[in-house]
Amino acid sequence: MDRLYIFDTTLRDGEQVPGCQLNTVEKIQVAKALETLGVDVIEAGFPISSPGDFNSVVEISKAVTWPVICALTRGVQKDIDIAAEALQYAKRKRIHTGIGTSDYHIRYKFNSNQDDILERAIACVKYAKKYVEDVEFYAEDAGRTDNVYLAKVVEAVIKAGATVVNIPDTTGYCLPNEYGEKIKFLMENVKGVHNAILATHCHNDLGMATANTISGVMNGARQVEVTINGIGERAGNTSLEEIAMILKCHKGLNVETQINTQKIYSTSRLVSSLMNMPVQPNKAIVGRNAFAHSSGIHQDGVLKNRESYEIMDPKDVGIDENAILLTARSGRAALRHRLSVLGIEVDNGKLDKIYENFLKLADKKKDINDDDVRILAGAERSEQSRIKLDYLQVTSGIGVKSVASICLNIAGEKFEAAASGNGPVDAAIKALKQIIRRTMTLHEFTIQAISRGSDDVGKVHMQVEYDDKLYYGFGANTDIVAASVEAYIDAINKFVK
């Protein structure tokens, strides 16, 4: 079997999703989970883009041992200087540099011509080589680049020292056969192609990212660029879990990875909860319904023999239906153990705080599952916030007007208000707006139950517009009106400093 390298860009392309930005501590947590999952390369950020990104690359380089740490640059010297500086502590490092090669990019973005772009491509690889041995070149918008010109660029950058050449379908435009043929064309027409690895980097604008990636692999690509849960700008990137499980299910493709598939589910949940980005219920591999059989015929078949309707065992992706749930009788040690299984390490002080909230939740809810534990571990963030919900009382029902009274603690001072509205959430938000007198508009509002049961925790995601910018908020509570108000306050805390 041929080795296929997994290049994870959750912390770079994935993190470009508006509202999903992580702080450095959270990025380190994700990077360590990716290391445990077995990815080969972690693209840790775009260091010149912000001091936060620079710092994250530095800290991830220190925290992670085995995977190669990669930093993105444009094909300009200043970017490459900064990336090299950010990578100084990485045990194994790579600079990912490049330039747009399609006519759209050459004409409209660079106001240039093919010869000039070719020279700039060679120059940026040579410049990056001064700092690191491992240089990856990306031909941005390769999906819409003429194959003959693309081959010329790929050949030249390999000659200049590129160890990996990335062929991004930046706009998610290619059909699977077209993308596969592009890789095949390069494999057959680029002199020296075997001195480097060709990489796929597919976007999902037309829902074909995974199909295109597999087509690339079938035609010779040996690195795939992916994200957890397929997150990424617009419709996202190819999802890591889909590629890993396709290769596990289809041994005939004759390529293997080092992914420990049993870590897929916990990594997916960690990324989803840290980024406040819900996973769609029917998402392949990691969605809540991915292994749920509801039709009687399917249930009967699965009970008789799992393989009659399932091509994968949920345990292979780390879903253990018999996992021990925590209850009000569970102690600190059990909670610490569960946190560590989920990749969350805490000191004694933080454990005490989480345990206190755990007992409060266990009082309302019989069994505490992994999602609850993750939410409890993140709840500390709201405790440090400037605006906190002190109390909320709501009257609602059929035939009565919904009324809410609310008290907010703003930097230690208490403010109360009451309002009526079209339903309990509307009443509570109107009362909240009497205290926070800003012009804010609620755009997105989703409520999701985590598991099953009427005592379940409801997760609320909200998108609030203020001053022409969007802010995301998240709340979780067994009371969905309280969860909604918490989500609204979480969004407000991002712009009220």
Contacts with ligand KIV by CB under 6 A lie at 13, 138, 140, 166, 168, 170, 201, 203
Which residues does 255 contact at the CB level (< 8 Å), separation at least 6?
Answer: 1, 2, 3, 4, 217, 222, 247
Q: How far is the CB of 170 from Zn ion (least distance, A)?
A: 6
Measured from each CB, the residue nearest to Zn ion is: 13
Q: How far is the CB of 50 from Zn ion (least distance, A)?
A: 18
Q: How far is the CB of 27 from ligand KIV (least distance, A)?
A: 18
- Of the pair 4, 202, the CB lying nearest Zn ion is at 202
> How long, in residues, is the chain?
497
Q: How far is the CB of 98 from ligand KIV (least distance, A)?
A: 6
Residue 97 CA to residue 137 CA, distance in Å, equals 5
Residue 138 binding partner per list Zn ion, ligand KIV, none, with a CB distance cut-off of 5 to 8 Å that depends on partner kind? ligand KIV
The SS3 of residue 151 is helix
Q: Which residues bind Zn ion (CB under 5 A)?
A: 13
Is the C-alpha dihedral spanning 441, 443, 448, 450 positive or negative? negative
Q: How far is the CB of 46 from ligand KIV (least distance, A)?
A: 8
Residue 360 CA to residue 362 CA, distance in Å, equals 6
- Of the pair 57, 481, the CB lying nearest ligand KIV is at 57
Q: Give the containing element (helix H, strand E) for 225.
A: strand 223-226
Residue 478 CA to residue 447 CA, distance in Å, equals 12
- Of the pair 16, 405, the CB lying nearest ligand KIV is at 16
Residue 179 binding partner per list Zn ion, ligand KIV, none, with a CB distance cut-off of 5 to 8 Å that depends on partner kind? none
DSSP-assigned states of every residue in 336-348: HHHHHHTT----H
Residue 461 binding partner per list Zn ion, ligand KIV, none, with a CB distance cut-off of 5 to 8 Å that depends on partner kind? none
> Are the C-beta atoms of residues 170 and 141 closer than 8 Å to each other?
yes
Q: How far is the CB of 137 from ligand KIV (least distance, A)?
A: 10
In the numeric block, which tokens belong to residue 255?
């390529």
- Of the pair 13, 136, the CB lying nearest Zn ion is at 13
Residue 140 binding partner per list Zn ion, ligand KIV, none, with a CB distance cut-off of 5 to 8 Å that depends on partner kind? ligand KIV
- Of the pair 173, 309, the CB lying nearest Zn ion is at 173
> Are the C-beta atoms of residues 15 and 22 closer than 8 Å to each other?
yes
Residue 32 binding partner per list ligand KIV, Zn ion, none, with a CB distance cut-off of 5 to 8 Å that depends on partner kind? none
Residue 219 binding partner per list Zn ion, ligand KIV, none, with a CB distance cut-off of 5 to 8 Å that depends on partner kind? none
SS (H, E, C) 304-329: HCHHHCCCCCHHHHCCCCCCCCECCC
- Of the pair 237, 396, the CB lying nearest ligand KIV is at 237
Q: How far is the CB of 176 from ligand KIV (least distance, A)?
A: 17
- Of the pair 208, 375, the CB lying nearest ligand KIV is at 208
The pair phi, psi for residue 202, each rounded to 5°, is -115, 140
In the numeric block, which tokens belong to residue 349?
């002080």
